[in-house]
Chains A and B, each alone.
Chain A
Amino acid sequence: MKRFAVVALLLGLLALPSMAMAKADLVIATDAPPKSMNPQAYSSDANYSYMSNFFDGLLQRKSPDGKLTPALATEWKRLDPLTWEFKLRKGVKFHNGNDFNAEDVKFTFERMKDPKYSRFLNFGNSIAGIETPDPYTVIFKTVKPVPWFAETMHQNFIVDKESSLKRDDGDYNTRPIGTGAYVFDEWVKGSYVKMHANPDYWEGAPKYKTVEIRPITEDATRFAALAGRQADIVNGVPLTLADRIAKMPNVDVIARPARRCIYLTVSNKPGTPFADKRVRQALAYAINEDEIIDKVMHGMATKAAQIPDVATKGYDAGIKRLEYNPEKAKQLLAEAGYADGFEISVVGPNDRYINDEKICEAVAKYFAKVGLKVSLDVKPKSIFFDETAEFKHPFYLVGWFDGSFDFGRSAEKLLHTWNKEKGMGAYNGAVYSNPAIDDLIIKSSSIIDPAERNKALQQINRMAMEDVAWIPLHYQQDLYAVVKGKNIKFSPRSDRWIVVKEIQ
């Protein structure tokens, strides 16, 4: 009898929670976990993706074209090179019931200067002052002209001033309170993030009432989740599995040209072989990009002739690639006095971009074919990026897309000569330097007229490509898998964010 009671009790325990928990309306398996629920704590597309559901920026970008549209601000204007004015939306409430107004905006941007809460120190410190003439107007003054100031407002998420000041750090970093389309329910680290629709959302309540995002970092396991119908949408489908997944009867595979360009960055430091423009051209001619796309990328990439993508200000359709021509490469090397080649190390990460290690291997082989003495040096991103930040390598593979859709910002970080005081060229790890380009970059940042500025940016872009500051390879493609039969309308964004309110 006693034994029976114990069994009954155990069965009861088993039954209770499984009855209480219902499956979410929509389950999304992603390839990266959230790092923090503090929207200013981590600047990766993966973290922004989570944040975009709980928070709103002053502006937003909608799929598929990524055009800047109003969000918490209804209109915005650049008053002069240093001044930006935003008019805020009225009647918006945070998830805790607090009203949203200019004080919250001021608080959010001022907190970006605090190393304790912010990984956006650079952006925070570019703001000289914030004025709030009335509760629904915010005026930003920047330290120097920042032409793309508004362009970043989709990723600067606004937090509630009152509750943020009251809560302790642990709570602030794990439980987001925003104005977004979804209200945060629970984050079990390593397992899932659960959320429910915000019924009072200013854009109208989203379609899916309960949503669960499951980070699964292992490719094979994410695939198994899809095969076992445990997820409705999966991102980061690995190239090697794409064909097999496409054959599954209940799944659609969606390929989305991504904004990220994979390219080789080259130094022109005097005293190195790279100082000679003919050598840089020869390196570009030596690479058979068609073969890389076909063999390494399984056809899932688009050839690139420049770093910015079509959607970025400063993109110039007139720029042409230096197409594969090994004979010309050899000839140029001979003209530059390197007929017998020189020693070159192909450096790159092996866990950052799609098939990054294999691309490096291919590039090394092409270089060997034109007579260079090549060594291959690929390493984990945690080491690789530290080394490039210390200007260790004159030649390496890297990827880039500009979150602000503005090539001027890219040029300041990647192309301008490294200058500690001015905060320029922080990502110019190969140490490329061209004073004429530097001049243009500085001048372009004070141009207010958008059309004129676009022309200036295109000129910078053209000059950089003519001088072979970079050797662009290809734009990646992002692959998603969506389960059929549940009538999910999902159009992926170019920035890889999964903004659930956009899924119909």
Chain B
Amino acid sequence: MGPRERPQFTTMASYILRRVLQGLLVLLAVSFVCFCLFRYTGDPVLMLAGKYATQEEREMVRHAYGLDQPTHIQYIKFLGGALKGEFGKSYVSQVDALDTILERFPATFELALVAILISFAVGVGMGIVVSIWPKGCVSRILMSGSLLGISIPTFLTGILLVMLCSVYLEILPAFGRGDTVQLGPWRTGLLTLDGLKHIILPALTLSSYQLAVMMRLTRAGMREVMGEEYIKTAWAKGLSPAKVILKHALRNVLIPVVTIAGLSFGELIAFSIVTETIFQWPGMGNLLLTSIFETDQPIIVTYIMLTSCIILFINILVDLLYAVLNPKIRYN
């Protein structure tokens, strides 16, 4: 590393530091909002003490869980715990909240990963097809199909896929993760045939929106780039169409597509709730929904904090990747 690059490195480091600090502030704000909201979502003591508890027994429980203390004390205690990585125990199962959520993380992560891979590969592929033969019959079908992908809500896509593939054709299973393999702390469904079969429908459902977006993004980029001088030069040089399109044109188109893919990956992890519910996918979204119905506050708060962390992390990462992909971008 030459002496000239030094300043660039330090601005980068200070940029990262600033972003991390901003992130921490956001997390603090998120935790505060969560905490305030839960003042109004029902009293967990009613559930904790059991159906037939007397008022006295409820007070006893309230005290045992520290719920009789003023809100600000509870909040400070919560922050103190969070700094140590302790988010409390689930009111329902009495098991550590963070462990409960992390146990579900691999399922959601794998679902989001497969979904983003499908939407990226298929979306970009279809985008190329559509941009090369814009007037073709296939392109017209794909373009109007992408509108459906954007406008049909996930739960409908999911149910339609289940009706078609599981109920009528009986080729794919309708729910669950299938057989899984435990690799250390990670339980994966991607290494078994059964697991792969199970992931197809939910991943397709989850990817439908992003797929359409990526296809349209690729198409727009391709149409712009294909008119550029250097593409014309490439054609003139007599390069094969595959080389011109894939090597010269697509490369430049991919930068915004990758950004979108990265950003939506975080979203897919955080908001796969609907898909997970339809397919009974044992992920975090499913857990969140159940916990909301049960006013299991420690789980809900931990979930929100965790997904905020993931989204912040991915945002920072995408920003940094941008700098790597496009050296013209500077951080000041």
* A38–B94 touching, CB < 8 Å: yes
* B170–A119 touching, CB < 8 Å: no
Q: How many angstroms from the CA of A173 to the CA of B89 in the assembled complex?
A: 12
* A36–B174 touching, CB < 8 Å: no
Is B120 located at the chain interface by the 8 A CB criterion?
Answer: no
For residue B92, give the distance in angstroms from its CB to the closest CB of chain A. Answer: 5
| Across-interface contacts of A270 in B (CB, < 8 A) | none
Decide: A426 near B293, CB < 8 A? Known: A13-B191, A121-B61, A190-B282. Answer: no
Chain A binder among B12-20, B79-87, B175-183: B175-183
**Contact pick for A41, options B94, B179, B181, CB 8 Å:** B94
- Give the tally of cross-chain contacts (CB within 8 A): 165
| Residue from the set B41, B43, B192, B278 with the largest chain A CB neighbour count within 10 Å | B192
In B140-165, which residues have CB < 8 Å from any A CB? 159, 162-163
| Across-interface contacts of B51 in A (CB, < 8 A) | 43, 119, 122, 427
| Across-interface contacts of B319 in A (CB, < 8 A) | none
Q: How many angstroms from the CA of A220 to the CA of B274 in the assembled complex?
A: 13
* A188–B94 touching, CB < 8 Å: no
* B175–A225 touching, CB < 8 Å: yes
Is B54 located at the chain interface by the 8 A CB criterion?
Answer: yes
* B170–A228 touching, CB < 8 Å: yes
| Residue from the set A117, A121, A173, A230 with the largest chain B CB neighbour count within 10 Å | A121
Q: How many angstroms from the CA of A228 to the CA of B171 in the assembled complex?
A: 9
| Across-interface contacts of A221 in B (CB, < 8 A) | 162, 174-175, 278-280
For residue B64, give the distance in angstroms from its CB to the closest CB of chain A. Answer: 5
| Across-interface contacts of B42 in A (CB, < 8 A) | 382-383, 386
Is A324 located at the chain interface by the 8 A CB criterion?
Answer: no
Is B240 located at the chain interface by the 8 A CB criterion?
Answer: no
In A373-396, which residues have CB < 8 Å from any B CB? 380-383, 385-386, 389
Is B329 located at the chain interface by the 8 A CB criterion?
Answer: no
Is B286 located at the chain interface by the 8 A CB criterion?
Answer: yes
**Contact pick for B295, options A35, A192, A382, A420, CB 8 Å:** A382
* B282–A21 touching, CB < 8 Å: no
| Across-interface contacts of A118 in B (CB, < 8 A) | 50
* B175–A224 touching, CB < 8 Å: yes
For residue B300, give the distance in angstroms from its CB to the closest CB of chain A. Answer: 12
**Contact pick for B162, options A14, A224, A351, CB 8 Å:** A224
* A230–B173 touching, CB < 8 Å: yes
In B32-90, which residues have CB < 8 Å from any A CB? 41-43, 46, 48-57, 60-61, 64-65, 89
**Contact pick for B166, options A18, A115, A224, CB 8 Å:** A224
| Across-interface contacts of A98 in B (CB, < 8 A) | none
* B93–A41 touching, CB < 8 Å: yes
Between-chain CB contacts (< 8 Å), 20 pairs: A14-B192, A115-B48, A115-B49, A119-B48, A119-B50, A122-B52, A169-B95, A188-B282, A190-B287, A191-B176, A215-B280, A216-B175, A221-B175, A221-B278, A227-B167, A230-B175, A380-B293, A420-B55, A426-B52, A426-B53
**Additional 14 contacts, C-beta under 8 A, given A169-B89, A169-B95, A230-B175:** A41-B93, A41-B94, A115-B49, A170-B96, A173-B94, A174-B95, A188-B180, A191-B280, A214-B176, A228-B166, A380-B293, A385-B46, A386-B43, A423-B54
